[in-house]
Amino acid sequence: MIGDLGAADATELAGMVAKGDVSPGELLDAALAAVALHNPALNAVVLVQENAARAAIRAGLPRGPFRGVPFLIKDLGCEAVDFPSHNGSRLFANTRYSRNSAIFDRIRATGVVTFGRTTAPEGGIGPATESAVYGAPTRNPWNLEYTSGGSSGGAGAAVAAGIVAMAHGSDGGGSVRIPASSCGLFGFKPTRARLPDGPFVGEGWAGMAIDGFLTRSVRDTAVMLDACEGSDLGAPYAAPPLAQGHAQAISRPPRRLRVGLCDTTLTGDAIHPDVHEAVMQAAQLLESLGHHVTPARPTADVPMMMRAWTDIVGIGTALSIEKALKGHAPTPDQIEAVGRGAMAYAATLSPTRYLDAVGEIHAFGRQMAAFFEPETGAGFDILLTATLAEPSAKVGRFAHNTTDYLAYRTGPDGVFAYSPFCAIFNASGQPAASLPLGLSTQGLPIGVHLAAAFGQDETLISLCAEIENAAPWALRRPKGYA
């Protein structure tokens, strides 16, 4: 059954359940068998709750768009009563919740059968998933020597390996799009506040973090976004309303768009040749579809944004650890080195730095908005870049084994040098997506990144669907997996 079902997307699986070709229990059996087969090598799926999944099936699944489809939630956030969490950290291991988060309730209402969680790095602050609480790094199904990405690295590996057809993730600096690029999947970051954060969090990382999904198809993401869209009760702000919804938007191509092509980083640095080739091929594809592609690069202050992002996340990391420790100093058996370094770095900052950094993030968002403004700015509809500056990194390169938090994030070999595009759109709040359009000379997936103006999620996902139709990626699978 694994071989028969592992290549299907969630929409196809739900259709099979609706027709009676397969039952939710049989799909769960197949997913658990795939975990048993593949997870020892990948280390992507943790805290399996088979009893909770089978109880949900017996109780009667909601008749939503993904009724009966096996599902995994990230082991960071997405709080749920029936699904304890390590939150990627030994300090928070086996945390239990008294109520569900709004995002989990909306996911559950689609009819999915959640049966466990997927690995995440401690604090969610790395582009690789190698948390000590799981005992081993999470590896990429395409090549076990390489990382599946982070911070939703377990989700990326599980979907790429065919364990599930789609999985929950979250994205505060590229944490959905980085695994999508590394694992050959589709990853979409919505406009800020498009999805609910509450009630456990008011806003994630000053509004830069948002939930999302790792999928094989654009349609799965579109339908799941529609099911989860909208702020929760008491949210501090809301995204602009959708005109028609993501699923309706992908039913037809968008108007012909003005696409700005940036084949370097946004500060003008060169990217890996294999990645550059994938970006240029994507530009040619867009031109062949009738879109207007012009070389362009936003003039926003990216170094300022990177400093502000680093400070906000460092302060947030320190706050969460300090709350849990209640005044005690962290020890190496509780918190990994990068987390301890973030605490030490945060302690050097002025008490007013957080608000100053938030102001810089907001200023950066306004600068980026100008690139997409038709009347006073450059007037582009889409910005085309790479997702990562190079193909997926080897396991160990971004392990949390240094206390130099600043160098880990912003050093010449740090996270921002490796992933210079993704966090930009967490800071600006704009929708952005990674599409699996390239392969490196070593056979690793390469993601191409598209971003649109704030609130223009429907335009962006419609374009993604048009590209998927013109250059399908569904049959491009890692060897040895369904």
Name the residues annotated as catalytic. 74, 151, 175
Backbone angles phi, psi at 374, to 5 degrees: -70, -25
Backbone angles phi, psi at 93, to 5 degrees: -60, 140
Give the residue carrying structure tokens 């993030």: 361
What's the CA gap between 279 and 93, in Å, rounded? Answer: 41
| Cβ(385)–Cβ(452) below 8 Å | no
What's the CA gap between 19 and 211, in Å, rounded? Answer: 31
Which residues are CB-contacts of 355 (< 8 A; sequence separation ≥ 6)? none
What's the CA gap between 311 and 229, in Å, rounded? Answer: 29
The type of residue at 245 is G
Q: What is the CA radius of gyration of the chain?
A: 21
Record the tokens describing residue 57, joined without a space.
């099936």
What's the CA gap between 167 and 435, in Å, rounded? Answer: 16
What H or E segment, with its residue span, contains residue 52? helix 50-59
| Cβ(170)–Cβ(164) below 8 Å | no
**Is 366 exposed, middle or buried (CB count within 10 Å of its CB: 0-12, 13-18, 19+)?**
exposed
What's the CA gap between 476 and 76, in Å, rounded? Answer: 29
Pairing of strands 292-295, 432-439: unpaired
Determine the 3-state secondary structure of 139 from DSSP: strand
Give the residue carrying structure tokens 């960071």: 76
CB atoms within 10 A of CB 97: 16
| Cβ(56)–Cβ(24) below 8 Å | no
| Cβ(417)–Cβ(411) below 8 Å | yes
Record the tokens describing residue 386, joined without a space.
């790479």
